[in-house]
Structure formats: structure tokens, C-alpha cells
């Protein structure tokens, strides 16, 4: 077994990092990557992370030649071109754009949940903006309703980049917004998630288990 040639800057709670980790597991590439944990918030940057990654994003993937890839979409696409199994991102045709658009909606749910977390956990209480938090939560509700009502069959068809994104978004909601009660409103999504969250890739990356 050869030493890892790449470094993934990561934080186990980040749903975007988890997406990359799930892709690594699903494509059999975990051993190519060493993990470097960073304790990052919008108000506490990490100097090493900013090298080659001026916005200081995680996840970021430092390649063997020193180049740094970010963000999770770019890293997932890069990793998906590096394995011999079925692609997690369709290479061509309408399915490529459709699955990437579903993945983008999953990213939007993650974004809204992470922003809510920052607003409720990091921002001093007297500076919180309730209408802004409510707008983020509406975005989450609309995204989940769309997955439930329009896309559940497609999510069930393949555990690809779209399904991985939705699974990681739901995992993050359970971690940081456990009172949201999304399962009552989205029973089909809940049943789908109960199944996919048992996959080895999801269990190995579950922040509440690691
Ligand atoms: C979190 O702890 O919720 C978190 C950590 C890193 C990135 C995003 C979210």
C-alpha cells in the first residue's frame, strides 16, 4: 500500500467535507488521501488553509504537485474522474446536467443549514436576525419538499452525486437542526434516508459516530 499522495483539509461536521469523504469511500480512494483537520469558522481563519486557497474554503484538496482544489463540487468531479467504477457524475447528456442540478439543490440546503448554524451558534445573541434565519429555514423546507415530491424516484435510482449530496444535507440537518422535524413532512425522503444512511460510506463518515 503506497502513502497517500493528497491532503484533504477537513472538518468532520462540515456536510461539504462529508460529501467529498463519501465520494472517496464510494469510489475506493480513501487511501489516496491524508486528512488534515482544521478548526475553521468565518471569524477564525486558518493560515495554512489559505495557501493556494485564498478564500480559505473547506474542503480543499492539496494534490501531490502542490496545487489546491476547492470547493466540494470541484473536488468531487476531480475524484470521480480518477476511478474505474461507474461514474458518480454522469459524463454526458441531459442526465449530467439534471443530476448536477439536483446536487446543487442539495448544496443549497447545506448552505442554508450552515448559515443558520453560524447565525444561531456563533453570532452574539443581541445581533441575531430572526427574519434572516427564517428565510434560510424556508429555503431548506422548499428544497426538502422538492426532493420529496418531485425527485424521490431519481434519488432512489442511484447513489450518485445527487443522492450523496441529499444524504449529506439530511445528515447535517439531523446533527445541527434536530428539532426541524423534516421526517414528518417528508416521509418518502425519510424512508430513503433510513436506507442510504446504512451504507458503509455514510456510516464511516457520520459525524455523530466518528
Ligand atoms: C459545523 O460545525 O456545523 C460546521 C463545521 C465546519 C463547516 C461547516 C459546519
Indicate if 109 and 145 belong to the same structural domain: yes
The answer as to whether 87 is a domain residue is no
Instruction: State the alpha helices, DSSP H only, in 68-196.
Output: 72-80, 93-117, 130-150, 152-157, 161-176, 182-185, 187-196
Indicate if 72 and 104 belong to the same structural domain: no
**H/E stretch holding 61:** strand 60-62
By alpha-carbon position, which residue is closest to atom 1 of ligand 1?
A: 13
Give the pLDDT score at 1. 64
Give the pLDDT score at 66. 94
The pLDDT tens digits along the chain (210 residues) read: 688 999 999 999 999 999 999 999 999 999 999 999 998 888 888 888 888 899 889 999 999 999 999 999 999 999 999 999 999 999 999 999 999 999 999 999 999 999 999 999 999 999 999 999 999 999 999 999 999 999 999 999 999 999 999 999 999 999 999 999 999 999 999 999 999 999 999 999 999 987
Give the pLDDT score at 126. 93
Global pTM value: 0.96
By alpha-carbon position, which residue is closest to atom 5 of ligand 1?
A: 14
By alpha-carbon position, which residue is closest to atom 4 of ligand 1?
A: 14
The answer as to whether 121 is a domain residue is yes
Q: Return all residues near 58 (Cβ < 8 A) that are at least 6 apart.
A: 9, 10, 11, 14, 16, 17, 38, 40, 49, 70
Indicate if 115 and 58 belong to the same structural domain: no
C-alpha cell at 141: 423546507
Domain that holds residue 98: 93-199
**Shortest CA distance to 23 belongs to which of 188, 167, 151, 198?**
167
Instruction: Establish whether residue 13 lines the binding site of ligand 1, counting it when its CB lies within 6 angstroms of any ligand atom.
Output: yes
Instruction: Establish whether residue 46 lines the binding site of ligand 1, counting it when its CB lies within 6 angstroms of any ligand atom.
Output: no
Q: How far apart are CA 6 and CA 133, in angstroms?
A: 37
Instruction: Establish whether residue 197 lines the binding site of ligand 1, counting it when its CB lies within 6 angstroms of any ligand atom.
Output: no
> Given the CA of residue 117, which atom of ligand 1 is nearest to it?
3
Indicate if 133 and 195 belong to the same structural domain: yes
- Where residue 123 sits, what CATH number does that domain have? 1.20.1050.10
Amino acid at each position: 500500500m503506497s502513502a497517500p499522495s493528497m491532503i484533504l483539509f477537513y472538518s468532520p461536521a462540515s456536510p461539504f467535507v462529508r460529501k467529498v469523504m463519501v465520494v472517496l469511500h464510494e469510489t475506493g480512494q480513501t487511501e489516496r488521501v491524508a486528512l488534515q483537520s482544521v478548526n475553521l469558522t468565518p471569524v477564525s481563519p486558518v493560515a495554512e488553509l489559505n495557501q493556494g486557497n485564498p478564500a480559505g474554503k473547506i474542503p480543499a484538496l492539496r494534490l501531490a504537485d502542490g496545487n489546491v482544489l476547492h470547493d466540494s463540487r470541484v473536488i468531487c468531479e476531480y475524484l470521480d474522474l480518477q476511478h474505474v467504477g461507474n461514474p458518480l457524475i454522469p459524463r454526458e447528456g441531459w442526465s449530467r446536467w439534471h443530476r448536477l442540478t439536483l446536487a446543487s439543490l442539495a448544496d443549497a440546503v447545506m448552505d442554508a443549514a450552515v448559515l443558520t448554524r453560524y447565525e444561531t451558534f456563533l453570532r452574539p445573541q443581541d445581533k441575531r436576525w430572526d427574519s434572516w434565519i427564517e428565510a434560510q429555514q424556508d429555503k431548506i423546507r422548499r428544497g426538502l419538499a422538492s426532493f420529496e415530491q418531485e425527485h424521490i424516484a431519481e434519488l432512489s435510482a442511484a447513489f450518485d452525486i445527487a443522492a450523496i449530496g441529499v444524504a449529506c444535507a439530511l445528515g447535517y440537518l439531523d446533527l445541527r437542526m434536530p428539532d426541524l422535524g423534516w421526517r414528518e413532512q417528508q416521509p418518502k425522503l425519510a424512508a430513503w434516508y433510513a436506507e442510504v444512511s446504512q451504507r458503509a460510506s455514510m456510516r464511516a463518515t457520520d459525524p455523530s459516530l466518528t
